[in-house]
Amino acid sequence: MTTLPAQTEKKLGLVIDLDTCVGCHACVISCKGWNTENYGAPLSDQNAYGADNSGTFLNRVHSFEVQPDDGAAQLIHFPKSCLHCEDAPCVTVCPTGASYKRVEDGIVLVNESNCIGCGLCAWACPYGARELDQAEGVMKKCTLCVDRIYNENLPEEDRQPACVRTCPAGARHFGDLGDATSDVSKLVAERGGMDLMPEQGTKPVNQYLPPRPKDDMPEFDVLAPFLAPVAEEPKGFLSWLDKTLEKL
């Protein structure tokens, strides 16, 4: 059914810390690796070693430059994957029922054997979270590693999405954002977690933590203002060289 559930029992999702992310793309690689070898069709590449290479990825890291009114520009690395929206427009447009949102945990999934590859769900997603696999002809998207998080064959510490498990900076957190007492919900409350494109009305479950305010740059040497200025005008040979070069 491609109608959305009125309510889900849990709201599993990610919290991504833009202050901590170092832009190493390890989450991109671990996601590609896990999701190529496990649930659903592999994430194919086309012409991987040629000049015009491209491939299917469920997670990508953009980098943005932010220029404050005063002060230095900041570089912010920005991982982006499916936000498992509460009001997911990708689900309701699906003509076959292949796209659905799970009642038990809110994960948005694609039943690949029902997908006709029309691409309309990718058109409906404002975040670019869905990519049509060029080899398989079906829509691929983040599964929140549904085959890891409930997998009792894995050690307990591995029962979280591959991107979260692999992040060397601790910039990615996984949990139930519907439970106000969960660690992720507390983190969101504490750091002012935000929705991407709130005006699109998708009510994303994944939250982004904004970069913390930067400190002001302190004066390096407190005595510097009291020291006599060093002579700026060249003298002797350098003065002659300076004038000669000016004339040339």
Partner 1 sequence: MHPAPSVIFFTTFSGLGFGLLFFLGLGFPAVTGWMAFAFFAIAYAMAVGGLLASTFHLGRPERAIKAFTQWRSSWLSREAWCAVGALVLMGLYAAGLVFFQTRIAFLGVLGAVLSLATVFTTSMIYTQLKTIPRWHMTITPVKFLSLSLAGGALFAGQVSVALVLLVVAGLVQIFTWVEGDKALANSGTDMATATGLGTIGSVRAFEPPHTGTNYLLREFVHEIGRKHSQKLRAISLLLMVVVPFVLLVLPFSHILVLLAVVSHVAGVLTARWLFFAEAEHVVGIYYGKR
Residues at the interface with partner 1 (CB under 8 A): 1-3, 18, 25, 28, 52-57, 60-69, 73-76, 78, 80, 89, 92-98, 114-120, 122-128, 131-134, 136-139, 194-201, 208, 210-211
Q: Residue 147, exposed/middle/buried by CB under 10 A (0-12, 13-18, 19+)?
A: middle
Task: Closer to partner 1 by CB, 28 or 109: give it.
Answer: 28
Rounded to the nearest whole angstrom, what is the least distance from the CB of residue 159 to partner 1 in the complex?
27
- The closest of 27, 26, 57, 30 to 42, measured between CA atoms, is 57
Rounded to the nearest whole angstrom, what is the least distance from the CB of residue 237 to partner 1 in the complex?
46
Task: Closer to partner 1 by CB, 14 or 149: give it.
Answer: 14
Give me the amino acid identity at 212. R
Rounded to the nearest whole angstrom, what is the least distance from the CB of residue 167 to partner 1 in the complex?
16
Q: How many CB atoms lie within 10 A of CB 69?
A: 4
- The closest of 83, 91, 85 to 3, measured between CA atoms, is 91
What residues contact residue 59 under an 8 Å CB cut-off, 6+ apart?
27, 28, 31, 32, 79, 80, 81, 142, 163
User: Residues in the chain, how many?
Assistant: 248
Rounded to the nearest whole angstrom, what is the least distance from the CB of residue 202 to partner 1 in the complex?
9
Task: Closer to partner 1 by CB, 38 or 92: give it.
Answer: 92
Task: Closer to partner 1 by CB, 134 or 151: give it.
Answer: 134
Task: Closer to partner 1 by CB, 174 or 208: give it.
Answer: 208
Rounded to the nearest whole angstrom, what is the least distance from the CB of residue 64 to partner 1 in the complex?
5
